[in-house]
Structures are given as structure tokens and as C-alpha cells.
Structure 1
Amino acid sequence: MVSAKRVESRRAGHPAAIGPQAVPVAASVWPVVGEWLRRGALALLAALIVIRLTFPSDAPTVDVQRSGVIWDGAMLGVTLLALLAGAVGGATRWRWSAVDACVIAGMILLAFSTRGALDGRAALNGAWNGVGVGLAYLLARCLPRDARESRGLASALAAAAVGLAAYGLVQVALEFPETRARYQANPQASLLAAGIDPTDPASVSRFENRLLGSREPFATFALANSLAGLLVGVAAIGLAALFDHLTRPRSFNGSAPGETTATATSTVSVLIAAIPLGIVLTCLLLTKSRSAYLGLLVAGLVWLWRAGKTRGGGALGAVVVGSAVLGALAVATGAATGQLDRLIVTESFKSLSYRLDYWRGAWGILTGEEGVFWTGLGPNNFAPAYPRWMTETASEEIADPHNFVLEAWCTAGVFGMVATLAGLGWGLRHLLGPGQGIEEGRDDPEPLETVHAAAPRSGWWLVVAAAFGWVLALAINPTVEERRLVVLLAGFGGAVLLGRGLAMGNTVGSAALGLGVLAVAVNLLAAGGLGFPSVALPWAVWLAVGQNLRQDRRCGRLRVAGRLPAVTGLLIWAAVVGIYVGTIGSFLRSEALLEAAERLASRASRPEEFDRPLELALEAAEADRLSARPWTTLAQLTYARWIASGAQEDRNVWIKALTYYDMALEPPRDPRAGSILREQARMGKLFLERLGESISPNDRLVLLGRIAKATRLASRLAPTRAGLRAELAGLNADLSLYDQAVAEAEEALRLDAATPHADRKLDDARRRFLQDALPRWREAAAKPRSRDGHGSDRPPATQAARESLHSEFPTDISSRLARWRIVHHARESS
């Protein structure tokens, strides 16, 4: 007869309660192996979360995309370990809630949205990034066996955020002055290193404004607002935990009700933990992110509303007054040192007007693009679609709508938006709502054969595992430098040493994590980030860990079953890995070939030395038919080979180079890629400049027609860019199309007057040129035309030139995009 105490010990999974006679030694081997596999998966999850924060996922360069999909593959590897732990150990453990269902539904909808994406390569890479974040959420829900491990995961993420904040402060103090000095010494090299086209005045102006006129830290991100999206969550969680501890009712021995000697946290240790929290708040303040400030304020008001029900008015008043005084001191210090200025307040309404312009453009996409309302554009497809719908007064061309609701809608359709809002709503209810009773959240009893494989007694081993993430980042992320790594590790270590009193124990609860989730949600209502894994991943982890800590709700219950769920999961995992290999393997192979081609071409000096790079680029195009980069690389290598051969007149060379750009715009590649069209036009101009007088008049006119065709299509895809309109006006005039030159010039001048943004206006020389040329063009347009349609004062264009200008160029861009979509779907079906 087993006593009631022993039965309760078995339910709790305590290994000491079960003697050797109850469980044979041989039967305990596999559960122990399964437990070690689980610990390995959880340790790798902590490390991979830290690694992902080193990727500037808000800067879609090739290196970042490659590193991102490799990280997604690593998440699949962690998922394999987690499933093997259940299959080998004989006990599959998981938690479940409505939020988990919304996350899985969102992953499926994100995958299906790629079918209609015009830029298939960007969509697939972005979809796998979303799947990686979703897997991290599900693993954070299921892998931790108790509250200690859940808090350890959250603590590792918080320490990583402190490291990023410390690096942001180092940027402001040291790196920014060095970067400005390098740019002023050699602007051309700095622009090329940053991926900015030196011949694009708008891009150069935006880059200079951010480099020379901005002091906002961005750490390992590409934008300060993205960094703020991470820091605001950590700040809200830390402040909520700090205020909870300071205002909690105390007994005569200093412990709060429900605390034991083992779990009680001293006030001194909590106050010491405020030091790394202060680093986070300082860096957040310097980002000048108004939406992050608003998110932190909303989280603070919600904390006051909740605390007002249980705390005394005097304690809450002291918290409010103390916070106000410290905030005022921080703002005053920032203003005195020149890091903050009054523009943060005075330009708030201007910033809001920018967001309204973004949202109008996003709504235009949803209602104007066929099928987007229901199925979305697909991941990473907002940026090429937005210029066609942006308003005349919009400040810039953006990569996302700066609103997570519109972003989810534009990406995965209306159902993706509903899944996002439903998941967030249910998640906040679980984290901030009332309990359902202790019995609802009680874990399932462990099987007898697994009780020898108990969870570790502390969660700090996860923090140590996460520290190795910074070191592993050097191997997986080429953008991490040694000096940056030292600062990140120092900040991480300092946060661990000083923040122990606030991070562990019972100080951080589900309510504090819920306020962090809420603060990020408010921030993302006016900032980009839902599609950036470095911003979305911490949000997902806090949501997962917060539910785990709700021992009084069903979402926190750890369910235990046998091997069957894990074996079923392994079968699903095998299918998912097959899809990953099929969709990402071709991309990685293509990028490896292109990297080899570029490396060989950088050392080539004779024409024959470019033959091998050209072959490698062709192989890359065959390896990944969704990517446009092999075709643009072929065009660039063709031009470089021609230059190395002496730049002799050969129409086949420039026809081949420009045709490669046409191939880059053919389905299943993105036909809306305005950057490729502009690059094609620039390439044509380079050929014209090099050829000079050696090119025949007929070929010159044909080449001008190709340049004008690319520029015209680029201007129709971005109709509010005054610079493109002005450029097209000059090309039309060179081709004796004076009526079109007049129309484009007038539109360019109108857009120039309409936009209030200096970097979107025409430069003074181009504006004067158009104003001086317009009378001549109007006069030429009014002259009677010859039979072939050209003014009588210019020689008629040849038939080949007219075909080059007007072939397959409908004036209605919507009809062209619709035809491209039909071709794209037909090729996909075949």
C-alpha cells in the first residue's frame, strides 16, 4: 500500500520519493537520455534567441537573408532535438492555449501567402523567418519543465537586451564620430559599403541625414526604432517587476505574503538590479522613438490601474513621483549634453502625419491590388508594391506599413490579420487576466519511468547557455565584429551579475511579462517590426514564457503523454524539412555560386578572366529561378568584361547586358522591382557614355529607347518620384517625343512643389533645367508632325527604335501587373 504522501510526491515528479524497487535501473536509461536531449534543445534555443538579435533583420541585404534562413534551419534542428527527447524518453510534454493555435494558423497562412507573391524569393525567405519565430515560440512554450526554466529563458533574453543597450551607448559615444569622419574622408566608398547607390540623390540624402544629422543608437539593428521595439519591452518588464517588489505588502520579517526564505528577494538586490535597467532606459531614451515612449507610458498606466486594487495609495504615489523625478532628470541630462532636443516634442504631429501617409498607401495596396485584401502580398513584398500607392506628401519609400495590424494584413491577408489580433488578445488575457483556479493549471503527473530524469534545480544554466550565443554569432553572422562582441558580452555579463535579484526568484511574474508584450504592441502600432525577426522574436518569447508562469490558468499546465505525439511530430518535421531543403537549398547554392563569381571577378583584369565568373553566374541563375540577383550579376559582369576588352563598339554586348535585366524582371521574378529598372537605365547610360561617337545613329536611338523604356516603367511603378519624372522628360526630349517630355516635366515640377521633404525634391540644377527647357519643348510639340510621328525639325526614328520604345508597354500598369500575375501562376502550375 503506497502512502498518500508518496502518491503526491510521484505527482510532483520528485525522484527521491521513488525507491530502486519501484523503477528498475535499466528502465531509467532512456528517460535520462530524453531529459538530456530536452536540456540540449532548451540550451540551443536560448543561444539561438541571442544570436538572432545580432542580425539587422530590418536591413534586407543578401548576407542578412542568408544568415536568417540558416538560423531558421538551426531552429528546425532544435525542434528535432525536442521531438527526439519525447520519443526517446517516453514522455512528450507540451502546453496548449488558444494563442498557440493562432501562432500555428499564422505560420500556415504566411506559408500560403507566398503562392501569390510576385517576388517569390523574398517571400520564401521571409516566410521561413516567420516559421523560425513561430517555432521559437512553440519551443519556449513546451521545453521548460517548470517556472525556473521559463524565468531563466526570459532572463537570458533580458541580459541580451542589456548588452545591446550598452553597445548602443558605445555607438553614441565612440562609433558615430568615427563613422562620420570616415564618410567625410571618402563618401563614395562609405556609400558603396552601406549598399547605397552614389548616383541616386534621394538615397544619398537619406543616408547622409541619418549618418550626419542623427545621433540615435541602433546597436546591431539597422534602425533606432527597431532597437526601441526590443528595449521598450525589457524596460516595461523590469519597471513592473521593480515596482511590484517595492510596493508589495511586507510582514515583520520583510517577506511578502506567499514568499518563503528561499524565494524571497531582498530590496537591496532588487535596487542593484536597477543598474542594468537604467542602461536599458537610457538607451531607449536616446533612440527618440515616440511610439516606444508611448508604449512604456501605456504599460505604466496599466500597472497603476492593476496595482491600485491591491497596493496602498502612499506606495503608488511614491512610485509615480519618483518615476516623474527620474524621468525629468534623464530628459534634462539628455538636453544638456545635446543628445535630446525639443524636436522630439515639437515634431510629434509631423511624425504622426508621416504615419498617416504610410497607412493611406498601405490601404491603397489592400483595396487596389487584386486579391491582396484576402490573401496578402506575401512576406517581404510590401516594399516593391508601396511606391505605386504612396501619397505625394509621403516622406519616404518604406519596407512595411509602420503598423503591425496593417503589416499582418498586407502580408498574409485578412485572415492573417485576424489570427495576429486574436493571438495578441488571448495572450494579454492569459498574462494579465484573473486566474481560473490552481487545479486548472496543475501539471500532469509524470510517468513512473521518468521520475529519475528530473529538471535542474535552477534556471541559471540557460543564461550561461545563452552567453555562448554571442560567440556562436561570429560563425553564423558575418556582420558581428570582435569589438562589438566584447561590448555585447560585457553588457550581458554585467546584467547577469547585477540583475540576479530582479530576474530570478518570484520577482518577475506573468503580469510583468504581459506589460512588456503590451508595451511592444503599442509601439508596433506606429513602428515597423512585426516582419523583423529581431523584434518579433522577443515579443513571442515573452508571450510564451508569461503563459508558462500562469500556474492558475490552463495555459500554464504542462501536459504529459507517451511517445505517440512526439513520433507524430517527427513525421510532420520530416515533411517540413523537405520543404525547407527544396525552397532554401536552391537559394543557398545560388548565393554560394554568386559569391564565388564575384570573388573571381574582383581579381580579373583580362577579358578571358571573366569567362568563369559568367559561367558561375549562369549556374546560379539555373540553381535559383526565383532570384533576380544572378541576372543582374550577369549584366554587371558582361559590362565589366566589355570594359576589360577595351570598350569597342559591339551592339551585341549592350543588348545582352540589358536583356539580362529584362530576364531579372520576368516571372517568377518580381516585375515591380524598380531598383532593377533604374539600374538597367543607368547601365544603358554607361554604355552610351563609353561608346561616345563610335555608336551608329540608329543604335544610339535604339539604346536611348531602351533607357527611356526602363525609366518610364520605373516612374509608373513609383509615380510620385519627381526625380524619375524629370529624368524621363529629358529622355523623351532626346527622342523628339516633345509632347511626352512636356507632360513629364510638368508633372515633375508639380510633384517637386507638392512634397515638403527636401530629399524628395528636385535638385536646383535639374529644376532650372526643366523650367528653361519647357518653353522650347512646348514649341516643338506644337509643330506639325511628319508621317512617322516626329517633329519636322528632327530626323525620323528607325523602325527598330520605335519598336524598342513602344513594344509591350501598356500605359495601364494595373493591366501589366495582372498579366504578370497570370503568367506567374501559369508557370507555377506547370
Structure 2
Amino acid sequence: MAKKQRLNRRRHQAEVSGRVIPQTNVETTESSVRQSTAGATGARGNVGAVRHRITELFDPMSVGAALLAGAIVYLAYHPSDSVAVERGDALWFALLAIITATVTWAGWFWQCAGRPLSGLGKCEDVEEGVRASGKIGLDLRQDSLNRWTARLSAMVLNWAVWGLAAWMACAAYATCPPGNLRMATNEAWLWVSGAAIFSSARLLTAKLRTRRSLLALFVVCTVGLSVHALHQYFVTLPANRLLYLEEPDAVLAIAGVNAPPGSSERMVFANRLMDGGPTATFALANSLAAVLLFGVVLAVGVLRYRIGVLGRIGIVFWISLVLLCICALLAARSRSATLAMVIAVACLWLSSGRLGRFRSKTVMVGLGLLFVCSVGGALLIGFLGNREWFEQAPASLAFRFQYWRASWQMVLDYPWFGVGPGNFQALYERFRELSTTEQIAEPHNLFIETLTSGGFVALGLLISMLIAIAVVCVHQMRDAGDANCGIEEAALSDSKGDKWVVVGGTLALVLVWWMGILALILPDLAASILVVPAVAFAAFACWPAMRSLGSREIDSIVLSACVGVGVHLMVAGGWTVPGVALLLWIGGGLLTRQSIAFTALKRSKASRDESSSAALGASCAKPCAVAVLVVGGLVSLVLTLKSLGPVEARKRAMAEAAELMQSGRIRQAKDKLLIAASADPWSPEAMLWLANIDQVQLGRDGAADDVRRSWDSALAAALKRAGEDPAAYRQVASQRMHLYQVHGQPADLQAATEIFEQVALWSPADEWIMAQMSVLEAVRGQPAKSAEYAATARELSVLGGNIERALSRQLIFLPQKVGSPAQAGPIRRPADQLLNQLPAAPLHTTN
């Protein structure tokens, strides 16, 4: 009997390692036993099969994998950007991420409670755990990783990510005022989402088939975005440019941009339209380039490891996929992404060798490949591409250094919590260098973005996480490389994919289109005619290669892709684009995945203490699962009541108000705006809309007392909610200046001047506000201040050599009563014309 058990155990271990050893006697015995007991256990087996199917259907880990796949597809269609995140666009994704983490961790703890401590209790879990880590023996993990280092890294990865999210939530409240509480909390939830996705991915990617399926899903999404980008490049963008040349005002109205002829705003819009690249579903080409870069590395990795077994058709498919993604990447015209792609491919080549056993030849070949790709790509783009793409690179990098220096000064003033999440754009104006022109929404560097959003504590937590990830990756990839040497390729290709990833991704695709139809906001239909078939074809064509990738190979590919995206985000992005940050969150979780099976496999004398602690942990697993459900439910409830619910209620009410205004029902529109303002007491948008309606009525009907009081209260409430945001203050002052041009009441001019003066204190590098204050001080009878502001405006207009800063393109308000001509819109004049009149003929008010 003992011999038979040993033979059974060896047969199972041989199957795990991919080498099935024939066991004739044991198999014959097992067959006879099954035949003799088939009749007695038939009914019981059917009941057990049904129960197994029901358990599998409602397995929380499977549901978590489906939710994670759904999040990937959802963000492929709705990736958002930093400005949209501040407005609440990523709150639905935050709710999805929190639900995913809650289901995953609660299910993990619950399964731990029912998991026996014997290493042979669940052969399937043990096999998946061995394959997930790429190990064959039962005693390799402790030999590869120092116990203290392993525990410290695990502690950092488990707690630092949630500590960072909690710190960002505290920073959102601690920095308001001067920040805007609504925008701060909206972005703080994105950091919570990142922690939820990262921690969930560490558990959900423990199985090899799940990792293969997720990589296939990333490839499919990249193919769809590449086709969409190329359709924009060859079809949509040329049509939009032609339409702008024919009817610029119509294009600006469609884009929702207020840019009068001759203004700097119109010049900037035209430059971005004429010179910008495709964006697909993203707001910026650099964000799209990050995803395309990730896809290029995935495809190159498959060719690197599987070119010998792909076959002719498979090689053609994967080379075509690489070329497709590279063409879309070059069309996006992202210099940093192109460079990061070369670095990532070189990293992939270097990591394809076995860690700890590098040879000088491997290193030299990798460095040579990096040099050849860099020089060859540069020459190709230089001869066939746009020269401006090269010539503007130094200036673009110089702008980045300007952003980073200003951000550093910002952090020195706010060292503990930074300026808080969501407040960077508003407070950046105070620290912007005088020679810069752009009013950026984030500092274009993921480390500096963390520093400005949460201070030095947040940056320390992020760096500690990266160090822990690096330690885990090095040891895990080295051990997996040693183990994979004994695994036959045929055994690897027999594994199936995770069907729940397919289910989650498919349901998310259907829901995105269904919700778009209901909301009458469909994806690009013209591009979708090409995207949907390409995605369907790629899903089937990429799987034969993906299902044969080993654990060590997947780690190498994902690590190289994450390095490339990280390099790109060092100069062209950050965490606040969830469609891009998701790549790093899931990639980091995959590389540092947890394997729960190994806690029960080590059964030696040195591990008795650990076994007793494992037993104690198993007894506490069910209470932990309940605690996770309670905490996850409370966090979801807070998100819904404090952020998602108010933001969605405000958006619905404001959309209804817009429809009412278009139909001329002003009174009903004002009631809807009051409902929107009460639904979201932290946002100033509804009050600004309401003030704008009152201002139009005052300009048309005269100074009605009730309308005047409503207007004044709406403006005051908007300023109170906005925090110290120069853009909101400028909008309020502009309304008062416009009303002064219609009626000429000195109180409106005085209020506008005081607000503009505050804006000038917050925006010392803004030539527009300096020119506006110059003419306002002249009207107020302050010639010395007027001359000082005028000199500052002229000095700023020539700094940096940017033509859009010219005073001739700064359209400022005329501080005079104009009367009925101003009812159609505010009267603005080029700043140089008004400033040139100051010395000879000072302006006077007209009552």
C-alpha cells in the first residue's frame, strides 16, 4: 500500500512538471476500482457534478477575474484623462475596482478557511500554484528568497499601496481650501482604484491560464486601438482639418471651445488640430502611445519566445500585429513613447536570458540591438518623417524641466500633503515660470505627480513599493527560469485559458455599447466598422501562441512592457489617466502575484512554527472575509453617497437644464440648475451656469432686483465652492465685466477689478491678466500701477519666444460702457492696442 501511494504521488508530480511517466499497474488498479463502484456512486456523482458546476459558477475568484477583464475593456473605451478624472469621469471605474477588490479578497480569505493544511489536500490548487510560479520542486521558494526579505517585501506590497491610497484621501481633505474639494475627492478615488486593482491582480493572476488570458485581452485591445488610431489618421483628421479651414467657427462650436478670431486660444487649437496625431478613445496622443507601446512589446515578446513553433501563418500574423502597432505609434508622433519602445525591446532581449547566469555575449548582443534599433529608427524617421518631429524635441524636453522645477517649488511650500489630488492645475499658476506658456493639468512625470499630489510621504510609499516589486521580480523570474528548463513545450501548450476573462471582457463590450445606445453617446461608428472585425479576428488568431507561453516568459514580457510604459510616463504622463495607469497596476500585480498553495507545501522540521501559524491563519480566515466584505461595502457606500451619486445627479440635472435652455424655457432651466447645485454642494459648475443665465437676463431686461440678487448669490456660491482657482475667479470677473459693458454700473466694474486683482496675484506669469489689470487700473485712476502692470505684460509677452503670447493675440475686455452692442457678447480688443493708448489718452469710464 505504501508503495502504491508513492507511485501515485510520483505520477502526479510528473504530470505537473510536464513529463507524464507511465504507471501501468496503478492505472489498471484505479480503473478496476472505478468500474466496481460506478453503479453505486452514479447518482451521487451527478449531484456532485451539479454542485461543482454551481460552486464554479459562483466562485468569487472567478467573478473577480471577470470583473478585472471587464475593467480592461471598459477603460479601452472610456480611458478618461486628468481633467476628466477631476470632473468625475472615473468614478464608475472606481466603483468597479472597489467591487473587484472586495470580491477577490473576501473570496480568497473564504477559500483559505476551507483549504486543508495538507499539501495533498487540493491537487488542482497545488498544480496551479506550481505552474504560476514556474516551479517543480516543493522546496525551491525558501532556497531562492531570503525569509526576511520575502516577508518585508510582502508586507510592503500588501500595505504600502493601501497606505498610499489612504494618504491621498487625507490629502484631498487637508488641502481644501485652497483646493476644490469636488475635484480633489474625484481624483483621490482614482488612487483608491489603483490600490484595488493592484491588490486584486496579485491574487487573480496566481493561475497561469489567467495570466495568458489577460495578456491575450491586452493584445486584442491594442489591436482595436491601433485600427481606430489609423482610421483617425487617414480619414477623420484630414476631414476635420478640411472642415476647419472652411468653417472654423463651426468646428470650434462642436469642440466647445470659445476662441474668438485672432486670439491665442484659436491659434493653439488650430496648431493642435493641424499638427496633432490620432488619439483613438483617449484625449491625448501621448496617452494612446503608452497603450500602443505596451502592445508592441507583447507582440515582440511572443515572436522572441515562440517564433520557432508558431508556423508560417502565425509568424505572419504576429509580425503584422507588430507593424500595425508601430505604424499607429508613429502616427501618434510621441517621441518619448518611440524611445521607450526601443528601451523596452532591449530590456526584453536582456531578460530573455536566465537571470543570474548572464553571459557577456548576451549583454553585448542586447546592447548592440538597442544601438542598432535606435540609430536605424532615428535615420528612418529622419529621412522619411517630419523634420519638426526631431527639431522640436529639445524644446519639448526643456518645457518638461520647466514643469518639474515649478512642481518642486510647489512641494517645498506644501511638503506634507502636496497640493492634494486634483488641485495641481489651479495651484500651478502660482509657481509657473515666467517663460512658460502652457497651463498644464499634471506635471508629466509619474513620480513628480505623486510628490505634488501627496507630498514626500506619498513619494516615499511609492518608492518603497517599487523597490519591493523589483526584489520580488528578480527572485521570482530567476527561480522560474531555473524551473522552466525542465518543462517540455508540449506540456505548456495543453493548458486552457481562463473562460471568466473571456466572459468578463465580452460582457463589458456589450454593456459599453448598450449604455452608449441608451445615452445616445455611441463610440465612433465609422471606425468601429473596422475595429470590431479586427478585434474578433485578433482574439482567435493570438490565442494559439498565447496559450503556449510559460510563466517565466510572461514575466519577462510584462516586465519589459511595464518598463517601457514607465519610461514613457517619466516625461509624458502620470497616474491620472486610468486607461494608461491600468497597464502598470495589473502588470505590477501580475509580477508580484501571491501563490497561496506554497504555505502548505513546506512540511519539514524547520517549518513547524510556520505550519502552526498557517493553522491559526486558517481559523481567522472567515472573520477576515467578513471584515473585507464589510469594509468594501462601506467604502463603496461612501463613494456612492459622497462622490458618484452627487456627480451623476448634477450631470443629469445640468443636461436637462441645457435641453430646457435650448427650447427657451429659462425658468424651468434655472430650477434644474438649483437642483444640480443642491445635489452636488462641492461643485461650482451649476452655480456658474445659473449665474450666466441671470447675467444674460440682466443684460437684456435691465437691473431687476430679484434677478440681481440671484446673480450675486450664485457668483458668491460659485467662488466659495471653487476654492482658490484662478480659472473660476476669472470666469466670475468676466461676467461682471460683460454686465458693466451693457449697463455701466460702477459697482460691477469695481467688483470685477478686485477679482481680477486676486487672479493676478495667483497668476504672476499670465500676460493676459497683467494687460487686463493695466487698463483697469488706468480706469480706476491708478497710473503708477497701470504702468507697472503694462510693463509686466510686455515683458511676459516676449519671454520664451512664443508667438501665442504676443499682446496682439491677448483679447482683453474693454472697460467702457458699450450699451446694446454688448448684449450679444462681451467686447474685447487686442491688448497691444489698449496698452498703447494709455500714455497718450488714459481711458475713462462712461456712465
**Whole-angstrom CA distance in 1 between matches of 2:325 and 2:168:** 33
SS in 2 for 1:74: helix
**Residues 429-451 of structure 1, C-alpha deviations (whole Å, 9 max, x = no match):** 43345657579999xxxxxxxxx
Structure 2 vs 1, CA of residues 425 and 316 (structure 1 numbering), >3 Å: closer, same or farther? closer
**Whole-angstrom CA distance in 1 between matches of 2:562 and 2:528:** 28
1:45 to 68, 73, 87: 68
Equivalent in the alignment of 1:818: none
Letter in 2 for 1:772: N
Check conservation: 2:212, 2:497, Cα contact below 8 A: no
2:729 to 677, 690, 693: 677
**Whole-angstrom CA distance in 1 between matches of 2:12 and 2:164:** 38
Equivalent in the alignment of 1:249: none
**Whole-angstrom CA distance in 2 between matches of 1:113 and 1:9:** 57
Equivalent in the alignment of 2:461: 419
- The size of the alignment, in residue pairs, is 730
Structure 1: gaps (5+ residues): 247-253, 255-263, 443-454, 781-792, 798-830
Check conservation: 2:259, 2:266, Cα contact below 8 A: yes
Letter in 2 for 1:775: P
Q: How does 1:191-590 map to 2 (within 5 A)?
A: 191-199=252-260, 201-214=263-276, 216-245=277-306, 265-266=310-311, 269-307=314-352, 340-368=385-413, 372-433=414-475, 437=479, 457-459=496-498, 462-463=501-502, 465-476=504-515, 478=521, 480-506=523-549, 508-548=553-593, 563-584=622-643, 585-590=645-650
SS in 2 for 1:376: coil
**Residues 223-253 of structure 1, C-alpha deviations (whole Å, 9 max, x = no match):** 111111222223233324423445xxxxxxx
Check conservation: 1:621, 1:627, Cα contact below 8 A: yes
Question: After the TM superposition, which of the residue ranges 303-312 and 135-144 deviates more from structure 2?
Answer: 303-312
**Whole-angstrom CA distance in 2 between matches of 1:111 and 1:421:** 19
Equivalent in the alignment of 2:782: 737
Structure 2 vs 1, CA of residues 170 and 193 (structure 1 numbering), >3 Å: closer, same or farther? same
Q: How does 1:730-769 map to 2 (within 5 A)?
A: 730-763=775-808, 766=830, 768-769=832-833
SS in 2 for 1:506: coil
1:775 aligns with 2:834: no
Letter in 1 for 2:659: R
**Residues 674-702 of structure 1, C-alpha deviations (whole Å, 9 max, x = no match):** 222222222223323433xxx5xxxx211
1:602 aligns with 2:666: no
1:73 aligns with 2:95: yes
Structure 2 vs 1, CA of residues 473 and 385 (structure 1 numbering), >3 Å: closer, same or farther? same
C-alpha displacement of 1:100: 3.7
**Whole-angstrom CA distance in 2 between matches of 1:436 and 1:276:** 30
**Residues 268-303 of structure 1, C-alpha deviations (whole Å, 9 max, x = no match):** 624531211221122122222222223223323434
Check conservation: 1:729, 1:741, Cα contact below 8 A: yes
Equivalent in the alignment of 2:714: 660
SS in 1 for 2:95: helix
Equivalent in the alignment of 2:489: none
Check conservation: 1:384, 1:674, Cα contact below 8 A: yes
C-alpha displacement of 1:747: 0.8
Structure 2 vs 1, CA of residues 116 and 485 (structure 1 numbering), >3 Å: closer, same or farther? farther
Structure 2 vs 1, CA of residues 623 and 226 (structure 1 numbering), >3 Å: closer, same or farther? same
C-alpha displacement of 1:375: 1.4
**Whole-angstrom CA distance in 1 between matches of 2:291 and 2:453:** 22
Question: After the TM superposition, which of the residue ranges 465-474 and 630-639 deviates more from structure 2?
Answer: 465-474
C-alpha displacement of 1:484: 3.8
Equivalent in the alignment of 1:817: none
Equivalent in the alignment of 2:208: 147
C-alpha displacement of 1:611: 2.2
C-alpha displacement of 1:333: 7.0
Q: Which has the higher helix share?
A: 2
Equivalent in the alignment of 1:805: none
**Whole-angstrom CA distance in 2 between matches of 1:288 and 1:464:** 35
Equivalent in the alignment of 1:802: none
C-alpha displacement of 1:71: 2.3
**Residues 509-548 of structure 1, C-alpha deviations (whole Å, 9 max, x = no match):** 2011111111111111111221211110111112222334
Check conservation: 1:403, 1:528, Cα contact below 8 A: yes
C-alpha displacement of 1:713: 1.8
Structure 2 vs 1, CA of residues 772 and 590 (structure 1 numbering), >3 Å: closer, same or farther? closer
**Whole-angstrom CA distance in 2 between matches of 1:706 and 1:414:** 39
**Whole-angstrom CA distance in 2 between matches of 1:266 and 1:419:** 46
**Whole-angstrom CA distance in 2 between matches of 1:12 and 1:378:** 55
Check conservation: 2:673, 2:687, Cα contact below 8 A: yes
Structure 2 vs 1, CA of residues 441 and 46 (structure 1 numbering), >3 Å: closer, same or farther? farther
Equivalent in the alignment of 2:160: 102
Structure 2 vs 1, CA of residues 312 and 374 (structure 1 numbering), >3 Å: closer, same or farther? closer
**Whole-angstrom CA distance in 2 between matches of 1:437 and 1:661:** 64
Equivalent in the alignment of 1:36: 57
C-alpha displacement of 1:390: 0.5
Structure 2 vs 1, CA of residues 553 and 342 (structure 1 numbering), >3 Å: closer, same or farther? farther
Question: After the TM superposition, which of the residue ranges 467-476 and 278-287 deviates more from structure 2?
Answer: 467-476
Check conservation: 1:137, 1:540, Cα contact below 8 A: yes
Structure 2 vs 1, CA of residues 33 and 563 (structure 1 numbering), >3 Å: closer, same or farther? farther
Letter in 2 for 1:660: A
Structure 2 vs 1, CA of residues 120 and 282 (structure 1 numbering), >3 Å: closer, same or farther? same
C-alpha displacement of 1:323: 8.3
C-alpha displacement of 1:657: 2.3
C-alpha displacement of 1:130: 2.3
**Whole-angstrom CA distance in 2 between matches of 1:552 and 1:83:** 16
**Whole-angstrom CA distance in 2 between matches of 1:10 and 1:33:** 27
Check conservation: 1:57, 1:533, Cα contact below 8 A: yes
Equivalent in the alignment of 1:687: 739
Check conservation: 2:698, 2:707, Cα contact below 8 A: yes
**Residues 439-478 of structure 1, C-alpha deviations (whole Å, 9 max, x = no match):** 9999xxxxxxxxxxxx993236624642443332234564
Letter in 2 for 1:686: H
Letter in 2 for 1:70: W
Structure 2 vs 1, CA of residues 498 and 409 (structure 1 numbering), >3 Å: closer, same or farther? same
Structure 2 vs 1, CA of residues 106 and 128 (structure 1 numbering), >3 Å: closer, same or farther? same
Q: Percent of pairs identical after alignment? A: 20
Check conservation: 2:691, 2:715, Cα contact below 8 A: yes
Check conservation: 1:591, 1:620, Cα contact below 8 A: yes
C-alpha displacement of 1:137: 2.1
**Residues 133-161 of structure 1, C-alpha deviations (whole Å, 9 max, x = no match):** 32222222223451011121122022202
SS in 1 for 2:171: helix
Q: How does 1:167-206 map to 2 (within 5 A)?
A: 167-199=228-260, 201-206=263-268
Check conservation: 2:777, 2:786, Cα contact below 8 A: yes
Equivalent in the alignment of 1:814: none
Structure 2 vs 1, CA of residues 351 and 596 (structure 1 numbering), >3 Å: closer, same or farther? same
Structure 2: gaps (5+ residues): 17-26, 116-124, 133-153, 485-493, 603-613, 810-828
Letter in 1 for 2:754: K
**Whole-angstrom CA distance in 2 between matches of 1:439 and 1:29:** 40
**Residues 685-729 of structure 1, C-alpha deviations (whole Å, 9 max, x = no match):** 3323433xxx5xxxx211111222222222222111111111121
1:627 aligns with 2:683: yes
**Whole-angstrom CA distance in 2 between matches of 1:267 and 1:505:** 16
1:639 aligns with 2:695: yes
C-alpha displacement of 1:365: 0.8
Check conservation: 1:613, 1:637, Cα contact below 8 A: no
Question: After the TM superposition, which of the residue ranges 485-494 and 410-419 deviates more from structure 2?
Answer: 485-494
